[in-house]
């Protein structure tokens, strides 16, 4: 496997950053399953002086952090923020200017609804060196574990990612564009407004029986998948007791769930390789 990875080049990046004093590595933690981390992410977690992490980073990923690293939780949940975004930005600047090697760890991919761009803008303004380590975004990872392909030649020739919770707290999306056929719509952070989302999509042209699904705790052993229609999804999710974090998938590809579902506790136990906690040793 190492033959495909330019380890000296990766080490050179880290060394160059350290030569400038502190640095920030913006790292995607993936959708939850620690086996889905990139090799670069796992190595950085073991080398960091401090890891600043979010609510959506799973415990299995946190287990990969080196024993020497300080852990700082800055989790942001709906209506419950341990630190404001401005405070997080200031923390990253302060830690890096103190000469520390910082891993800023975010669930999924930091550039897909992860506010990674906002944080890097602040670092750039303060002259702080940084790098970005992509992660598997929730849309790709969770849909795969749910057995719902995001594109399919028979059902969807495009895929759109949107957030169901805008910066001002509203859910005012481009409903006309989202209600078009032959596409898949993946909605992040949409559980609180799910009834509104479904109603708007139907009001703008999608039929009441249009397939839709919600996946909660995707890629983890407690993953739950609810498949319904736009007319019934909100009530079905409520009846099932699904809670955040959850991902909503709308489109005809949801019809493939019964045929392609592969992930359950039994398949997880059989298919996973031994834990990779010593990957950076």
Residue ranges and CATH numbers for the domains of the chain are 2-136 (3.40.1010.10), 139-260 (3.30.950.10)
**Percent composition of the chain: helix, strand, coil (DSSP 3-state, to 5):** 35, 20, 45
Residue 57: Cβ within 10 Å count: 23
Among candidate residues 203, 151, 144, 141, the one with its CA nearest the CA of residue 178: 203
Work out the average pLDDT over 195-201. Answer: 95
pLDDT confidence band for 115 (50 / 70 / 90) = very high
Three-state helix/strand/coil letters over 117-134: HHHHHHHHHCCCCEEEEC
Weakest mean pLDDT among 37-41, 109-113, 169-173: 169-173
Catalytic choice (6, 49, 54, 167): 54
pTM of the model: 0.85
Catalytic choice (33, 63, 76, 86): 76
Query: Percent of the chain beyond pLDDT 70?
Result: 82
Is pLDDT larger for residue 17 or for residue 169? 169
Is pLDDT larger for residue 49 or for residue 167? 49
Provide the edge-to-edge strand list for the sheet that holds 101-106.
Answer: 70-73, 50-53, 101-106, 23-28, 130-133
Give whole-number Cα distances, 192 to 112, 164, 198, 204, in Å.
Answer: 20, 8, 12, 20
Instruction: Return contacts of 169-175, CB within 8 angstroms, 24+ apart.
Output: 171/196, 171/197, 173/197, 173/200, 175/200, 175/201, 175/203, 175/204
- DSSP 8-class letter at 35: G
Are β-strands 50-53 and 224-229 bridged in parallel, bridged antiparallel, or unpaired?
unpaired
Q: Average pLDDT, whole number, for the chain?
A: 88
Weakest mean pLDDT among 75-89, 102-116, 250-264: 75-89
Work out the average pLDDT over 28-38. Answer: 96
The per-residue pLDDT for 281 is 46
The per-residue pLDDT for 245 is 86
The per-residue pLDDT for 1 is 41
Work out the average pLDDT over 235-257. Answer: 95
- Would residue 76 show up in a list of annotated catalytic residues for this protein? yes
The per-residue pLDDT for 3 is 43
């Amino acid at each position: 496997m190492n033959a495909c990875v330019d380890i000296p080049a990766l080490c050179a990046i880290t060394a160059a950053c350290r030569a400038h004093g502190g640095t920030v590595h913006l790292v995607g933690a993936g959708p939850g399953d620690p086996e889905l981390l990139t090799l670069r992410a796992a190595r950085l977690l073991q080398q960091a002086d401090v890891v600043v992490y979010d609510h959506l980073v799973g415990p299995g990923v946190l287990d990969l952090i080196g024993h020497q690293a300080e852990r700082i939780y800055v989790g942001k949940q709906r209506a419950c923020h341990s630190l404001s975004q401005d405070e997080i930005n200031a923390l990253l600047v302060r830690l890096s200017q103190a000469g520390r090697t910082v891993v800023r760890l975010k669930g999924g991919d930091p550039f897909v609804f992860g506010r990674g761009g906002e944080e890097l803008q602040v670092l750039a303004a303060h002259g702080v060196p940084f790098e970005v380590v992509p992660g598997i975004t929730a849309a790709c990872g969770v849909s795969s574990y749910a057995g719902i392909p995001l594109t399919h030649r028979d059902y969807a020739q495009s895929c759109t990612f949107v957030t169901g919770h805008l910066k001002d707290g509203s859910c005012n999306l481009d409903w006309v564009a989202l209600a078009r056929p032959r596409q898949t719509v993946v909605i992040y952070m949409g559980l609180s407004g799910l009834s509104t989302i479904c109603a708007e999509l139907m009001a703008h042209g999608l039929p009441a029986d249009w397939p839709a699904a919600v996946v909660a705790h995707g890629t983890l052993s407690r993953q739950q998948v609810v498949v319904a229609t736009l007319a019934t999804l909100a009530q079905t999710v409520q009846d099932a007791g699904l809670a955040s974090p959850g991902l909503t998938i709308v489109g005809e590809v949801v019809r493939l769930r019964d045929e392609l579902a592969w992930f359950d506790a039994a398949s997880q136990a059989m298919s996973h390789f031994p834990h990779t906690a010593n990957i950076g040793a």
